Amino acid sequence: MSINMTTPRSYLFVPGNRPERFAKAYSSGADAIIIDLEDAVPPGEKAAARANAAEWVAPERPVWVRVNGADTEWFHDDVTVCAAPGVAGVVLPKAERVEDIRSIGKPVLPLVETARGFWNVPALAHTPNVQRLIFGTIDFQLDLGINGEGEELLYFRSHLVLVSRIAGLLAPVDGITTAFDSPDPVRADTQRARRLGFGGKLCIHPKQVDIVNDCFGPTPEEKAWANRVVQAAAMAGGAAISLDGEMIDRPVVARALELLKQSG
């Protein structure tokens, strides 16, 4: 078990109607686990999934819970269960309204999955208890009629990164990659998310977790560069210098120090 209680890189979903998978998900190496009461659970199994979550959560194994939407009949009962000490916070699907977040009373990760939710992102991001934003790319594409995961969503991803920074939130979390039998799609998607300023990614299968965690950490080349920069800066005593044909000044040193911090 390696749940990371600082800044999670990987959030692994586990269906609430499959309690036999809870322990396996928790030991997968994911930084955070999300018990899903929403998309993964058929309507007839909502109550059972909620009961499964209530029975399993405990302070020594904190998890997040994705509740059903605020406009559904299951929302209030889901939020009630999330008051348990073992629930680290709530993932709110199709987040659009500040008042829905305020009604939860726990840390919240709003899922931005609709045009209205995206329009209201600045207000959502500045609402107390919001820890970071999640981009629900699949439903977002459906709502806006967008056909494509790459440059078609560039503006929207970049806006979430910008708003998160202005609001003082952790860097946002990117949506799922549906392919999990091959490592290449999730690696490419995670590397793109990191380049754009995201700090984490949703996972739908344990096979994706190690790839996501690895991609959000510095590469060996980046760590080697950061070490050279820090050593050169220390020898220069604060003066701007050149290294490998590039100028090294305070912002570059700050970037190097951040990379070393990420690498532990």
Q: What is the 3-state secondary structure (H, E, C) of 90-136?
A: EEECCCCCHHHHHCCCCCEEEEECCHHHHHCHHHHHCCCCECCCEEC
Give the single-character DSSP code of 169.
P
Q: What per-residue confidence (pLDDT) applies to 2?
A: 40
Cα dist. 6→32, 77, 191, 199 in Å? 10, 29, 21, 12
pLDDT at 3: 41
131 and 247 together in one domain: no
Query: Residue 2: inside a domain, yes or no?
Result: no
What pLDDT does 5 receive? 41
Tell me the pairing of strands 241-243 and 246-248.
Answer: antiparallel
Answer yes or no: do 139 and 25 share one domain. Answer: yes
Q: Is 205 left (phi over 0), alpha (psi -120 to 50) or beta?
A: beta
Given the DSSP bridges, would you call strands 200-203 and 10-15 parallel, antiparallel or unpaired? parallel
Q: What is the pLDDT of residue 188?
A: 97
What string of DSSP letters covers 192-242?
HHHHHT--EEEESSGGGHHHHHHHTSPPHHHHHHHHHHHHHHHHHTT--EE
Length of the chain: 264
Written as six digits, the tokens of 23 are 């322990």
Tell me: do 37 and 50 sit in the same domain.
Answer: yes
> Is 4 a member of any domain?
no
Residue at 160 is within a domain: yes
Distance of CA 5 to the CA centre of its chain: 13
149 and 229 in one domain?
no
- Domain CATH for 50: 3.20.20.60
Taking residue 183's Cβ as centre, other Cβ atoms within 10 Å add up to 13
Residues 179 and 256 in one domain: no
Q: Residues 119, 248: one domain?
A: no
- Identify the CA nearest to 30 among candidates 53, 63, 68, 56: 63
Q: How many domains does the chain have?
A: 2
Domain check: are 202 and 182 in the same one? yes
If asked whether residues 205 and 224 sit together in one domain, one would say no
| Residue 231: predicted pLDDT | 79
pLDDT at 217: 79
Which domain range does residue 40 map to?
A: 10-215
Q: What is the pLDDT of residue 6?
A: 64
Residue 1 lies in a domain: no
- Tokens matching residue 252: 């570059």
Q: Closest Cα to residue 92, out of 100, 84, 62?
A: 100
Statement to judge: residues 53 and 179 lie in one domain = yes
State which H helix or E strand residue 248 sits in: strand 246-248
- Average pLDDT of the chain, as a whole number: 92
The predicted-structure confidence for 157-200, as pLDDT tens digits, reads as follows: 999 999 999 999 999 999 999 998 899 999 999 999 999 999 99
Same domain? 194 vs 258: no
Query: Along the 264 residues of the chain, how does pLDDT read in single tens digits?
Result: 344 446 899 999 999 999 999 999 999 999 999 999 999 999 999 999 999 999 999 999 999 999 999 999 999 999 999 999 999 999 999 999 999 999 999 999 999 999 999 999 999 999 999 999 999 999 999 999 999 999 999 999 999 999 999 999 999 999 999 998 899 999 999 999 999 999 999 999 999 999 999 999 777 777 777 778 887 878 777 677 777 777 787 788 887 777 777 666
Domain assignment present for residue 162? The answer is: yes
Same domain, 132 and 247: no
**Domain shared by 208 and 242, yes or no:** no
Indicate whether 171 belongs to any domain. Answer: yes
Q: What is the largest CA-CA distance in the chain?
A: 67
Asked if the structure places residue 128 within a domain, the reply is yes
